[in-house]
Amino acid sequence: MTLLDTPPTATSRPSLRHTRIADLYRQLLSELGEDPDREGLKGTPERVAAWWAEFLEHDPGRTDTVFEQELAGDADRLLVVRGITAWSLCEHHLLPMRLDFTLGYLPADQVLGLSKFARIVAAHTHRLQLQERIVDGVAADLTKATGTADVGVVAEGEHLCMSMRGVREPTARTINYSLTGCFSDQGVAGSRLLALATSGAGR
Ligand SMILES: [Zn+2]
C-alpha cells in the first residue's frame, strides 16, 4: 500500500453520472443471464446507481469542532467512545464490511464534540476501503481534531468477503488498532481501551 494507493474522496472524485451507472448495471444484469426488463428488476439499475451516490457522495459534515476546556491535571480523564458502527465496502471484493469502533483520547486543552467521532468515522468509511486504512485514517484525523498525540482507535470488523464467500466463516471478526502516545507500548490506557473494545458489553 503506497500513498498513491488511496481511494478518492467525495470531494476529490468527479461527480457520479447516474444514468451511465444505471446503464452499466443494466448491461451487467444481462451479462449475468438476467432480463433487466423483467418485473422484479425494473428500476433496479437506477436504485443501485442512487445507492452508489448515497454511499460515495456522503457528506460527513464538519469533523473539527472542539470545545476549549480547563481540565484537571490527573491521568484519569481518558475519554472513550464506543458503539460507533459503520459500514464500508472492501476494495478487494466490493462486498460490505461492518465495523464497530472504540475510540479514545486523553484530552489536552480541548474536548472534541461527541458527534465528531461518528463523523470522522463516516469520512473514512464512505469509499472503497481496507479496514487497516480506515483505522489509520480515523486515528490521524482524531489526532488532528483533538490536538493530542494520545489517541487510540480500535475496530472490530465483520467482512462479508469472509463470511459469504471464500472461507465462509460467519463468526470470524478482524480486529485492528492504532494506538499512539499514552495508548501505546502496552501501557495501562492502551490495555484498558482494548479490553473495552473487545469486552462485548453494551452490544
Ligand atoms: Zn474483501
Q: pLDDT digits over 59-112, tens only? A: 888 776 666 665 555 556 788 999 999 999 999 999 999 999 999 999 887 788
Domain containing 94 equals: 66-198
Is residue 170 located within the same domain as residue 145? yes
Q: Is residue 3 part of a domain?
A: no
Is residue 36 located within the same domain as residue 120? no
Backbone phi, psi, residue 78, to 5°? -55, 140
pLDDT value for 202: 42
Nearest to 48 by CA among 89, 91, 85: 89
Give every CB contact of residue 109 below 8 A, 6+ residues apart in sequence.
Answer: 68, 69, 71, 147
Give distance in angstroms: CA of 103 to centre of ligand 1: 24
Q: Is residue 1 part of a domain?
A: no
pLDDT value for 164: 87
Q: How far apart are CA 115 and CA 119, in angstroms?
A: 7
Give distance in angstroms: CA of 92 to centre of ligand 1: 5
Give distance in angstroms: CA of 131 to centre of ligand 1: 10
Is residue 101 located within the same domain as residue 179? yes
Is residue 32 located within the same domain as residue 74? no
Give distance in angstroms: CA of 63 to centre of ligand 1: 28
Give distance in angstroms: CA of 175 to centre of ligand 1: 14
Is residue 46 located within the same domain as residue 79? no
pLDDT value for 92: 95
Give distance in angstroms: CA of 134 to centre of ligand 1: 14
Give distance in angstroms: CA of 32 to centre of ligand 1: 21
Q: pLDDT digits over 146-175, tens only? A: 889 999 999 999 999 988 888 788 888 899
> Domain with 118 in it: what CATH number?
3.30.1130.10
Q: How many domains does the chain have?
A: 2
Give distance in angstroms: CA of 163 to centre of ligand 1: 10
Is residue 139 located within the same domain as residue 162? yes
Q: Is residue 9 part of a domain?
A: no
pLDDT value for 55: 96
Q: How far is CA 202 from the centre of its chain?
A: 20
